[in-house]
Amino acid sequence: MILVITPELIVPNETDFINQMFQEGLDLLHIRKPWISRNEMIEFITQIDESFYTQLVLHTYYDLGKEFTISRFHFREIDRQEEMYKSFAKENTISTSVHDIKTYNTLEKEWEYAFISPFFPSISKKGYGLNSTIKEEIKHRNNPDVKLIALGGIHQNNIYEVFDSDADGAALLGAIWESEEPLKVFKKCRNVLMS
């Protein structure tokens, strides 16, 4: 499974690239735009082809799920502690984020998957994850109910390591959006998995 997370700020032609990535086999898109208004979010979603709405995951403005028939929602670690996700868990698909395998192993089965980061040193946040031990920690995974998605520093030259490490998927962020050719990078990552 390959997921893409949007950059926090809107980039030129972003929704065009998103539609093209979906056409090339993108599994899920996480819309993580903490700084945009509700109206900007509505405008952003409407620029994505409606046939892909079932593959969108909202990080904010969860109420827009009903408006756009989006049933996937992501909750940060802090939201999980406040249990604000509980009302969504029954009829929707929910995901979350963790930063160590111990926390991941305690997740209940209502979560479809969890991002674990940083897997490699981050591409978009310089210096973040340089001393991360998550790649080694995955050996201690013992949660059969929740899929584990690696996040952080993943690109076409190391994505195979993610799947060799027993993760269920990879989330791409910096490799895609820091590139001059996001679609080309996505296709390269996907091709590594297909081969």
pLDDT at 136 over 90: no
Residue 22 confidence (pLDDT): 98
Q: What is the 3-state secondary structure (H, E, C) of the chain?
A: CEEEECCCCCCCCHHHHHHHHHHCCCCEEEECCCCCCHHHHHHHHHCCCHHHHHHEEECCCCCHHHHHCCCEEEECHHHHHCCCCHHHHCCCEEEEEECCHHHHHCCCCCEEEEEECCCCCCCCCCCCCCCCCHHHHHHHCCCCCCEEEEECCCCCCCHHHHHHCCCCEEEECHHHHCCCCHHHHHHHHHHHHHC
pLDDT at 31 over 80: yes
Residue 166 confidence (pLDDT): 84
45-101: pLDDT as tens digits: 999 999 999 999 999 999 999 999 999 999 998 888 877 788 888 889 999 999 999
pLDDT at 122 over 80: no
168-190: pLDDT as tens digits: 999 999 999 999 999 999 999 99
Residue 68 confidence (pLDDT): 96
- Percent of the chain beyond pLDDT 90? 76
Q: Confidence class of residue 126 from pLDDT cuts 50, 70 and 90?
A: confident
Q: Specify the pTM.
A: 0.94
pLDDT at 127 over 80: no
Residue 193 confidence (pLDDT): 83
Q: How high is the mean pLDDT of the chain? A: 92
Q: Confidence class of residue 30 from pLDDT cuts 50, 70 and 90?
A: very high
